[in-house]
């Protein structure tokens, strides 16, 4: 009987197990994970932190659902892979052999490398254990310093504010998430924060964490400000967990390198999710998505290939729908500013493809509470960012994903005015009803 071993019980690993089981009720599946809580919603951690959902809602499947999967779930850390002997080594249970192996090892938070980083009171928001730790400390926290300008950074800010903590938010750039958002867009996020017990500090980083008797008492910033606090929360990015792959001699760069079949440089070893750096055979580029839905799709495609069905992973346009300081925001495709802010890691809830500055024209329109930005190529829309009113999001997603020829309305889209959202909507309705060729 074929034995499939999957390292990681995140969305990529879990979906792979589910897909393998659906394809073949008799196949042997071993799931190994060093997360004691198994499979749960990582994006949901932010809502658990604010108190909007209880912890049990993070667990997407009932116990019954899990049992139906009929896998051998081993809790422990894989310390070594040997592709030659098709063996992995687990710290809790020793050697396990595999016929096919999936590395769905995810990514882990980049640690803050400053003096004082060992003090009690330094927290992150990577997994359930981290979230529980923050919640256990919150009663004794009046003020926190948060650092990190992406999705996790702002989720830390909002979670702490919701729990009654006063926050100093340090941003390295000119404005919040400046390699993805424009200044106006960022303003829509920063304004409500500033009304909410959050003090924003632009062009500031933490130079040192200050402490007394082993506990955080404050920070000294890069410009010399001293901010008193009991907690320092860090969301400065993540790095793919590539150590196992590296140790096994597999090809890695920022992630574990895989081809369009999600196959690594070793036969019978596959990778998916935040850990995988996937080659796009059409552009020749490879990139990492730190996003839930691509992770799910990759888990499914990896399983097909592990089972011997040749199935190519077709990257869909990276999309995220999220609340940023209460502003509903949809990000689709290449909408970045091209700024790199010296960033060496990727951000959770984001895609490397967003940060690329396409060689095209951006067009925007908006009011104080709603904003729309389009990245317009020669014949196609390449990206869009919609903040506030979301009725245009679905049409944009469809037009961008299906690479619809927008030549007939291109000129209208390049004249920013209140109406260009309506032009998109009308055109989408027309293409849907077959009125325009795709």
The size of the interface with ligand FAD (CB under 6 A), counted in residues, is 40
Contact 1, 27 (CB under 8 A): yes
- Our finding on whether 17 is near ligand FAD (CB under 6 A) is no
Alpha-carbon span 14 to 226, nearest angstrom:
45
- Our finding on whether 315 is near ligand FAD (CB under 6 A) is no
Query: Of 153 and 366, which has the nearer Cβ to ligand FAD?
Result: 153
Query: Of 293 and 368, which has the nearer Cβ to ligand FAD?
Result: 293
- Our finding on whether 180 is near ligand FAD (CB under 6 A) is no
Considering only residues 410 through 429, tell me which ones interact with ligand FAD, judged by CB under 6 A. Answer: none
- Our finding on whether 128 is near ligand FAD (CB under 6 A) is no
- Our finding on whether 45 is near ligand FAD (CB under 6 A) is yes
Query: Pattern 251-280, binding to ligand FAD, x per CB under 6 A?
Result: ----------------------xxx-----
Residues 386-402 as b or e (16 or more Cβ within 10 Å = b): bbeeeebbebbbebbee
Q: Which of 101, 112, 134, 152 binds ligand FAD (CB under 6 A)?
A: 152
Residue 32 C-beta: closest distance to ligand FAD, Å: 5
- Our finding on whether 157 is near ligand FAD (CB under 6 A) is no
- Our finding on whether 5 is near ligand FAD (CB under 6 A) is no
Residue 197 C-beta: closest distance to ligand FAD, Å: 21
- 339: CB partners within 8 A, 6+ apart: 173, 178, 179
Residue 126 C-beta: closest distance to ligand FAD, Å: 5
Classify the C-alpha dihedral 278-282-285-290 as positive or negative.
Answer: negative
- Our finding on whether 6 is near ligand FAD (CB under 6 A) is no
Query: Of 128 and 362, which has the nearer Cβ to ligand FAD?
Result: 128
Tokens read off for 224? 């010399």
Contact stretch for ligand FAD (CB under 6 A) within 16-24, 148-156, 175-183, 362-370: 148-156
- Our finding on whether 47 is near ligand FAD (CB under 6 A) is no
Q: Which of 145, 232, 291, 331 binds ligand FAD (CB under 6 A)?
A: 291
Query: Of 242 and 409, which has the nearer Cβ to ligand FAD?
Result: 242
Contact 413, 419 (CB under 8 A): no
Contact stretch for ligand FAD (CB under 6 A) within 54-62, 204-212, 288-296, 381-389: 288-296
Q: Which of 19, 290, 329, 337 binds ligand FAD (CB under 6 A)?
A: 290
Residue 130 C-beta: closest distance to ligand FAD, Å: 8
Residue 413 C-beta: closest distance to ligand FAD, Å: 27
- Our finding on whether 204 is near ligand FAD (CB under 6 A) is no
- Our finding on whether 405 is near ligand FAD (CB under 6 A) is no
Contact 334, 354 (CB under 8 A): yes
- Our finding on whether 35 is near ligand FAD (CB under 6 A) is yes
- Our finding on whether 320 is near ligand FAD (CB under 6 A) is yes
- Our finding on whether 345 is near ligand FAD (CB under 6 A) is no
Question: Which residues of the shown chain bind ligand FAD in the complex (CB under 6 A)?
Answer: 7-13, 32-35, 42-43, 45-46, 77-78, 104-107, 125-126, 151-152, 155, 241, 244, 273-275, 290-293, 295, 320, 322, 348-349
């Amino acid at each position: 009987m074929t034995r499939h071993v999957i390292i990681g019980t995140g969305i990529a690993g879990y979906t792979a197990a589910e897909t393998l089981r659906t394809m073949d009720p008799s196949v042997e599946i071993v799931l190994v994970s060093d997360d004691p809580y198994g499979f749960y919603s990582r994006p949901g951690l932010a809502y658990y932190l604010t108190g909007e959902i209880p912890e049990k809602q993070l667990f997407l499947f009932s116990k019954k659902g899990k049992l139906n999967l009929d896998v051998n779930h081993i809790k422990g850390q894989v310390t070594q892979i040997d592709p030659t002997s098709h063996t992995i080594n687990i710290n809790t249970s020793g050697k396990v052999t595999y016929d096919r192996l999936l590395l769905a090892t995810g990514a882990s938070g980049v640690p803050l490398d400053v003096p004082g980083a060992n003090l009690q009171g330094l927290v992150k928001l990577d997994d359930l254990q981290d979230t529980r730790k923050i919640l256990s400390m919150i009663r004794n926290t009046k003020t926190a310093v948060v650092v990190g300008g992406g999705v996790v950074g702002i989720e830390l800010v909002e979670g702490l504010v919701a729990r009654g903590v006063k926050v100093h938010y340090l941003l390295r750039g000119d404005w919040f998430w400046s390699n993805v958002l424009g200044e106006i867009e960022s303003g829509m996020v920063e304004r409500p924060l500033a009304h909410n017990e959050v003090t924003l500090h632009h062009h500031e980083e933490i130079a040192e964490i200050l402490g007394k008797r082993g506990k955080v008492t404050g920070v000294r910033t890069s410009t010399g400000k001293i901010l008193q606090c009991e907690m320092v929360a860090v969301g400065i990015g993540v790095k793919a967990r590539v150590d196992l792959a590296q140790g096994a001699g597999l090809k890695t760069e920022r992630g574990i390198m895989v081809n369009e079949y999600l196959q690594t440089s070793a036969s019978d070893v596959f990778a998916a999710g935040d850990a995988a750096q996937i080659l796009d055979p059409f552009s020749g580029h490879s990139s990492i998505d730190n996003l839930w839905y691509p992770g799910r799709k990759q888990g499914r495609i990896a399983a097909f290939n592990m089972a011997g069905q040749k199935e190519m992973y077709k990257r869909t346009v990276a999309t995220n729908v999220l609340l940023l300081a209460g502003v509903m925001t949809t990000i689709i495709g290449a909408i970045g500013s091209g700024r790199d802010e010296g960033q060496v890691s990727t951000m959770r809830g984001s895609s490397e493809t967003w940060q690329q500055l396409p060689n095209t024209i951006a067009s925007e329109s908006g009011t104080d509470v709603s904003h729309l930005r389009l990245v317009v190529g020669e014949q196609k829309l390449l990206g869009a960012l919609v903040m506030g009113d979301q009725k245009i999001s679905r049409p944009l997603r469809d037009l961008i994903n299906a690479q619809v020829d927008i030549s007939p309305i291109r000129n209208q889209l390049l004249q920013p005015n209140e109406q260009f959202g309506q032009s998109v909507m009308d055109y989408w309705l027309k293409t849907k009803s077959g009125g325009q060729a795709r």
